Structure 1
Amino acid sequence: MTARVLVVDDLAANIKVMEARLTAEYFEVVTATNGPEAIDICSRGLCDIVLLDVMMPQMNGLEVCRRLKADPRTAHIPVVMVTALDQPADRVSGLEAGADDFLVKPVDEIALITRVKSLARLKTLTDELMMRAATSTEIGFDENMDPKTISGDGGRILLVEDMTASVDRVVGTLSRLHTVDVNADPQEALFSAAESDYDLVIISLSLANIDGLRLCSQLRSLDRTRQLPILVIADPDDKPRLLRGLDLGVNDYLLRPIDRNELLARVRTQIRRKRFSDRLRDNVQMTLEMAVTDGLTGLHNRRYLERHLNSLVQQAQDRGKPLSLLVLDIDLFKAVNDVHGHLAGDDVLREFSRRVRKAVRGIDLACRLGGEEFVVAMPDTDSALALLVGERIRQRIAGESFHMANGVSLDITVSIGVSSLESRADTPELLMKRADEALYRAKRDGRNRVAAAAA
């Protein structure tokens, strides 16, 4: 996987070394020699990952990171601090500023490339979600899409560890802010992670008699846990397996001995990132639903009907099964709007849709075609049964007054046209046309009735 990497350092020699290593792995490299220049490059969307030197004049790396993470336009860009400082307190300061990871000088080449690849995958996923969650006209950031508004506390965490001292330290540190479940058996932990709603899994790579990376791989292979953040705990001399874990999709790591503040900071970062991604996915799902759902009634819309009626007709013809269509039109609906106002009209449409939905089966497709016109497509339903369903809907509409929010009660009726598949030559257009003709006949004959298409 390639990406555009921004290398920020005030020393040209350091930039040259990083640039050579990254270019050899086919990454595109952008450079900056100071904080303001780096911020400008990021704000213009010219990089995917930032490798940021901590010790710089005028504006140090911590301040640059804070400013990047405070700006919704750049908050999702992964930042790796490159520093000669290797104390836990230094890492905590960076994590609190929003850094995603650290590389200690002199930078190990394998660690550099592995970490950049891992963060490039993360950035690609986040970019996809943000693009899909954006409006069709522009990418809009509001409070709900701003990572700063998302808390990293109060998470539910699964700890997979079999060393009592380590369990006590991790649970003792995290339990003040999070709920921590402990499981020493990796297979039980896998089932638990798949069945429960965790925000993070912490896995020890020092488990007795089993490779912790196997559990990491299994978590990444299951749909239910593929997006679940994984933080591993490793020994300092277990670097090869740690790098392998990052290749497998591990999100973050801690080295023993565990520093309590660093643990809290890394856990908070991972939980906040997961919640941000979940919010983006929810936004995407909501956008998809809005695209095929009528916002007023909650029924499917014309676009959904047009897409799915074709497949319903094709399936019925291929299987030799019946299929029927109801076209429903609320009688004299214009008078409701004219006399009682459009708010009352909306109340009628919502209640009408609720009654229609209750009168049909779960497999039936109920849609609002537009205005006061609705369609119900009914698989495995012949014309005789469709007439009975139409009559049931008509009675439910006419049998009880519609009570408006303003206290007014209205008597509403509906006219319904019915058509059914007649041959393999039938198309969705012919089916709709015959149902429309039947509906017009029901209207001409006095409304508040069900009419079948002419044979």
Structure 2
Amino acid sequence: MTARVLVVDDTRTNVKLLETRLSAEYFDVLTAESGPEALDICARNACDIVLLDVMMPGMDGFEVCRRLKTEPMTAHIPVVMVTALDQPRDRLRGLDAGADDFLTKPVDDVALISRVRSLVRLKSITDELRMRAMASRDYGFGDPLALATAETGQNARILLVEDRAITADRLAAALAPYHRVDVEPDPGQALQRAPEENYDVILVSLNLAGFDGLRLCSQLRSLDRTRNAAVLMLAEADDKGRILRGLDIGVHDYLMRPVDRNELVARVRSQVRRKRFADRLRDSVEASMALAITDPLTGLHNRRYLDAHLASLFADAARRARPLSLLVLDLDRFKRINDTYGHDAGDEVLREFATRVRLHTRGIDVVARFGGEELVVVVPDASLDGARAIAERIRERIESQPFAVHSGTRTVPVTVSIGVASLQGADAGPVDLLKRADLALYRAKEEGRNRVVALAA
């Protein structure tokens, strides 16, 4: 996996050393000698990951990291601090600034390449979400990047998989003031609980008795319902090879024993923020996609969705020689309702119309607003007679009870005319089916309204 790596260090020798190591692994390397220069490169979206020296004149690495992580347009860029500082307080300061990891000088080549690859892989997923989420701003959701960046990383659901009771109690106590923590000593039970409980972070001991903790991490990363949870490894000092393997299979982070309480809290907070950042973007994408295919007034599918889905259902029914029917529904004299009671009342009628139609259709049926007061219902695996029966039930339900308007203070009698048609061998496409149903609707209107007409040919 290639990526653009920004190396930030004011010592030219250090820059050349990292550049040589990374270039040998086919990474594209950019360099900067100061914090402001690094911020400018990141603002131009010119890099995928930052290797950041801590000790620099003017603006140190902590400040550079803090600025990157609080700016919505750069918060998603992974930052690895490369430093000679190895005290817990220094690591904590970097984590508080938003750093994704630390590499201590002299930098181990295997750890460097493994960590860069792992973080770049995670970023590539976020990049896809960011690109799609930006479109949601056009739907009035606000700036999804700003909303995601504002996440505090608190009040998360944490699963701790640790079979050493004393250790588990100590770690849970450290996290309990900030999160809800569940402890599970049995890895088999943990694998059953995790998909059901929607955890934000799962901490896994690599040294579980009689079980390979790394295998559990791999399973958690592969399951659909736990794939988006952040997974952290709890490792011993001699677990270096397993840590690198874990990062390679997609584990997000790790903690070395003995676990520093403050570092545990900081790393979990960082992973919660990253996970929720991605969740926010994902929700924004899903919401914008839903709006793109949903009629905002009735909540039904819109014409765009109908056109695409009807074509698919038509092709499938024709291929399998299965029945497919279509209903076109139009409220009778709807203009009179708007003129008499106002357009707000008309909107109330349309919403209730959509609700009643949905109540008398199946989950597999497609119900869409075709335009104005006209709805279309696509009924798979239904013959003409079966579709006519469905249409008649809907017609009766519309007529049987007046529609409430003006917030329930008045009622309006409403009826509907429905045209029905079914797939025929001569149909070249869904347009033919739609035309026959529309013609049937026209005849229902001509014959006095408030009726169902089905065309056999």
Give the structure 2 partner of residue 359 of structure 1: 360
Aligned partner of 2:339: which letter? D
Question: 1:149-205 CA distances to partner (integer Å, 9 max, x unpaired)?
Answer: 213111111111122332122012111222222222222211111222111111111
Which secondary structure does the structure 1 equivalent of 2:177 belong to?
Answer: coil
Give the structure 1 partner of residue 188 of structure 2: 187
Question: 1:409-443 CA distances to partner (integer Å, 9 max, x unpaired)?
Answer: 22222111111123264531111111111111111
Give the structure 1 partner of residue 88 of structure 2: 88
Q: Report which stretch shifted further, 347-356 or 216-225.
A: 216-225
Which secondary structure does the structure 2 equivalent of 1:81 belong to?
Answer: strand
Shift of 1:28: 0.7
Give the TM-score normalised by the residue count of structure 2: 0.95
What is the distance in 1 between the residues matched to 2:99 and 2:426? Answer: 63
Give the structure 2 partner of residue 289 of structure 1: 290
Gaps of 5+ in 1: none
Question: 1:100-151 CA distances to partner (integer Å, 9 max, x unpaired)?
Answer: 1001111111111100001101111101011111217889962674334213
Alignment RMSD: 1.8
Give the structure 2 partner of residue 251 of structure 1: 252
Aligned partner of 1:108: which letter? D
Give the TM-score normalised by the residue count of structure 1: 0.96
Q: Report which stretch shifted further, 106-115 or 439-448.
A: 439-448
Shift of 1:454: 5.3
Give the structure 2 partner of residue 373 of structure 1: 374
Q: Report which stretch shifted further, 413-422 or 144-153.
A: 144-153
State whether residues 143 and 149 of structure 1, in contact with CA within 8 Å, keep that contact through their aligned partners in structure 2: no
Give the structure 1 partner of residue 436 of structure 2: 434
Shift of 1:393: 1.1
What is the distance in 2 between the residues matched to 1:57 and 1:429? Answer: 70
Give identity over the alignment, percent: 61
Which secondary structure does the structure 2 equivalent of 1:263 belong to?
Answer: helix
Q: Report which stretch shifted further, 302-311 or 138-147.
A: 138-147
Aligned partner of 1:419: which letter? A
Give the structure 1 partner of residue 227 of structure 2: 226
What is the distance in 1 between the residues matched to 2:396 and 2:259? Answer: 70
Question: 1:300-322 CA distances to partner (integer Å, 9 max, x unpaired)?
Answer: 11122212222322333333332
State whether residues 329 and 372 of structure 1, in contact with CA within 8 Å, keep that contact through their aligned partners in structure 2: yes
Q: Aligned pair in 2 of structure 1 residues 383, 367: CA closer, same or farther (>3 Å)?
A: same
Gaps of 5+ in 2: none
Q: Report which stretch shifted further, 373-382 or 260-269.
A: 373-382
For residues 5-154 of structure 1, what are the structure 2 equivalents within 5 Å? 5-135=5-135, 142=143, 145-154=146-155
Give the structure 2 partner of residue 314 of structure 1: 315
State whether residues 159 and 202 of structure 2, in contact with CA within 8 Å, keep that contact through their aligned partners in structure 1: yes
Equivalences, count: 455
Question: 1:31-69 CA distances to partner (integer Å, 9 max, x unpaired)?
Answer: 111111111111111111111110000110001111111
Shift of 1:289: 1.7
Q: Aligned pair in 2 of structure 1 residues 138, 329: CA closer, same or farther (>3 Å)?
A: closer
What is the distance in 2 between the residues matched to 1:374 and 1:135? Answer: 28
Question: 1:342-365 CA distances to partner (integer Å, 9 max, x unpaired)?
Answer: 322211111100011111222221
For residues 194-205 of structure 1, what are the structure 2 equivalents within 5 Å? 194-205=195-206
